[in-house]
Amino acid sequence: MTDIQQRIEKIWGTDNRLHQLIGPFVMNPDIIRINRGYPFKNTEDHLWYIALKNKNMVMGFLAVCNGRICNDFTWQDCEVLEFLLKKVLDDMEKEMLVSFIAEDYEVGLLEELGFQQERRTKRYVKMVKVT
């Protein structure tokens, strides 16, 4: 994990740098398939956290918008997800309600970070935490 700790870049949703970094990444058919065909949504209110290694190799990313952590993709690597989540949580205002829609493999990590299950559907678990 030391490679990834070298850099997390924070980028607003309208910044051209965002498209340079994750545009080719999220258009990859393998990633679209792993993401079950769901699009990665973006607005000017999204703040993206992108884990990079080496020059610009994207290891994973997530975005924050209105207290929701969304658009996460980490190749199902919980170390990358943990690193990104810790940075996001450190940056958030205190006493803020934060939510994250998790897949089953992510629930344990989120619980370790203080999230609680709010609602479970067939595929996902809505997790919440007050920072």
pLDDT (tens digit per residue) in 16-55: 999 999 988 888 898 888 888 888 899 999 999 999 998 8
CB atoms inside a 10 Å sphere around CB 12 = 15
pLDDT (tens digit per residue) in 63-90: 999 889 998 899 889 999 999 999 999 9
* DSSP one-letter code for 17: H
Which residues fall within 8 angstroms of residue 42, CB to CB, at 6 or more apart?
13, 18, 48, 63, 71
β-bridge partners, 11: 48
Confidence label for 109 from pLDDT (cuts 50, 70 and 90): very high
What residue ranges do the domains of the chain occupy? 4-93
